[in-house]
Structure 1
Amino acid sequence: MSMDDQQPEPVHVSTEEATCSTEEACEQTQQQTESRADQSRKSESSGIPNSIDRLRSEFDKLLGVAVEQGERALDKLGLFGNEAVWMPRVDILELEDEVQVSFDLPGVTAEEINITLAGNMLTITGSRSTGTTTTAGQTVRISERPSGQFRRSVPMPVAVDPDKVTASVQNGILSVVLEKSSTEKPRQIPISSAAGTGF
């Protein structure tokens, strides 16, 4: 048998078979081994619930962000889809009787925009062409204006009346006004006093 045919044997260390010079040394070694095993068992068992709790809290945070930001959170998480979709910027202003939502959509006409209200989620979709096209001999050096399909969903801060929604486009800004639901509107409650009663 040549030296090349021999494979090294795995090394196995066992504390049970180790011989001790004195009985006291053997007891100390065994106690140390048992205490190390107990510590590793405790750390392993405590590590699993900590990992699960940490995972659960991270998942709860992600769900909270998705509820607050709508599709923007899904896009950042990579769950929105593979198609190139850009999201216009938005402002939401809550007044006493209504909610005003403004979207930046320069160069987009009213005919190119679709607006839907599903439950409490306002969604706009459409497409925009920036007009930047190249022909032979032309090179685009900078292209920062988004083009193509756009989509943006925003949750309303309060319940709104789906039958009382208006929208208009002016100077590249889409303005959507949503009247609050009657249950959300503040009401003045009259106070009646009983005449002739006193303390």
Structure 2
Amino acid sequence: MLHRATPAGVAALRELLGVPQQSTVVLYAPTYRDYSRSQHLPLDLERLGRALGPEFFLLTRAHFAYRAPLNRTPLPRVLDVTGYPSVEELFLVSDALVTDYSSLMFDFVTLDRPIVILDDDREAYEAARGTYFDLRSCPPGAVARNEDELIDIFTTGHWRGSRSAQLRSAFRTRFCPYDDGHAAERVVRRVFLGDSGSAPAPTGRNLPAQRVRGAEFAPAGASRLR
């Protein structure tokens, strides 16, 4: 889906969600915390929205285990999409992802769009759940330790600067070198069909969805959006 999307399809999905077409959309999607029964809420979304300004539109998506939205009251330019059925479609309408230790980063990075990591509780998270690697040693983009640093990363433009692009490229090279839209096809052909010659070879480069040519993208969530 991420590689078949077209600009027209993404625009249709933004319209479906009620997101202004010219807005810079940031998806905030934190993961689950083992060490706390209550939902981790490190951001004042109202303050964040004011700091980013009218150019930005914020989508918030809580982890499914909490069954509750991140923003409990309506806010300007903030839309909770916790109940939206397709996170891939949310990826496509978003210009950037803010997350923490969520595996969503490994999928979103294939779009080659900016990612900002918010790891305000890293020590507690690692003590309770553990991690496979030190995220700060190989982040997919800029890293903020608190709300103030997150705001600074966006207001200064660091979130989409050259250093963030370099980090994102290194992350993709390390973790996602085969994610070009044909990875599953290559596995099926080689493992189940014994055929490795007819599947497209890994390109080593994952193009952003808005520059991929292909079939028109039809938002699957159109009939399910509440």
Asked if Structure 1 and Structure 2 have the same fold, meaning a TM-score greater than 0.5 normalized by the shorter chain, the answer is: no
Structure that is richer in strand per residue: 1
Normalised by the size of structure 2, how large is the TM-score?
A: 0.20
Which of 1 and 2 has higher RCO (CA within 8 Å, sep 6+)? 2
Structure that is richer in helix per residue: 2
Normalised by the size of structure 1, how large is the TM-score?
A: 0.22
Look at both structures and tell me which one has the larger radius of gyration over its CA atoms: 1
